[in-house]
A and B are shown apart, each in its own frame.
Chain A
Amino acid sequence: MSILEIIGGILIVIGSLFLFLGALGIYRMPDIYNRLQAGTKATTLGAMSLILGVGFLMPGWILKILIIIIFIAYSNPISSHALARAMHIRKRFMYFKNDEIDAYKEIDENNKHVK
């Protein structure tokens, strides 16, 4: 057991734990926005940690592993943002009723002359 293998094993355990917590958040949360929040951030951290752990275990593969990590780091927020905007445009049910906090509506009204 070298020091790289120990670090890689710890990272893999942390990553799989965070993946499980993200899926648990998807299952338990009451609202689509909360589900998006739980399912995207925890899953991003879990996947990046797990893949980096594999990179520590196999040091020869580090280039392609860095490519996968960078791709996950920019694709996952983009997809969650697009999904949240689509759900907001369709006016989905919100669990916490709070009409004062709606930043997207002001942006809509400011951009009305553009359309």
Chain B
Amino acid sequence: MILGLILSAIRFIKGPTAGDRTVALDTMTIIGVSGLVLSSYLFNRYIYLDVALVYGVLGFIGVIVIARYLEKAL
């Protein structure tokens, strides 16, 4: 999972267009949400699930806003 995070971070850095970077950002957000849920199990903290949910909402809104901006509709 951490290897996947590293791979998508490489694509995020060297992606040729803005869309590639946005796809990599989306994937990194989902991997981050999964990592937060897994860490909430490992450290036995119920409150980390809220953090994961809010992080997922923010990543979703960020990707939508970037996509609307790229199609010159914002």
- Secondary structure type dominating chain A contacts: helix
Interface residues in B39-74 by Cβ distance below 8 A to A read 40-41, 46, 49-50, 52-53, 56-57, 60, 63-64, 66-68, 70-72
**Which residues of the partner chain A approach B67 to less than 8 Å between Cβ atoms?**
79, 82-83, 85-86
- Secondary structure type dominating chain B contacts: helix
* B17 touching A92, Cβ below 8 Å: yes
Size class of A's contact patch?
35 or more
CB distance from B3 to the nearest CB of A (A): 6
A94 within 8 A of partner (CB): no
Interface residues in A76-95 by Cβ distance below 8 A to B read 76, 78-80, 82-83, 85-87, 89-90, 92
Size class of B's contact patch?
35 or more
B10: nearest residue on chain A (CB-CB)? Answer: A27
**Residues A23 and B53 in contact in the complex (CB < 8 Å), given A39-B26, A72-B30, A86-B67:** no
CB distance from A93 to the nearest CB of B (A): 8
* B34 touching A27, Cβ below 8 Å: no
**Which residues of the partner chain B approach A23 to less than 8 Å between Cβ atoms?**
3-5, 7-8, 27, 31
* B34 touching A19, Cβ below 8 Å: yes
* A54 touching B11, Cβ below 8 Å: no
* B17 touching A26, Cβ below 8 Å: no
**Which residues of the partner chain B approach A35 to less than 8 Å between Cβ atoms?**
11, 20, 23
Residues on B lying within 8 angstroms of A by beta carbon are: 1, 3-5, 7-8, 10-11, 17, 19-20, 22-24, 26-27, 30-31, 33-34, 37-38, 40-41, 46, 49-50, 52-53, 56-57, 60, 63-64, 66-68, 70-72
A-B pairs, 7 with minimum CB distance:
A23-B4, A86-B71, A82-B67, A20-B4, A86-B70, A79-B63, A75-B60
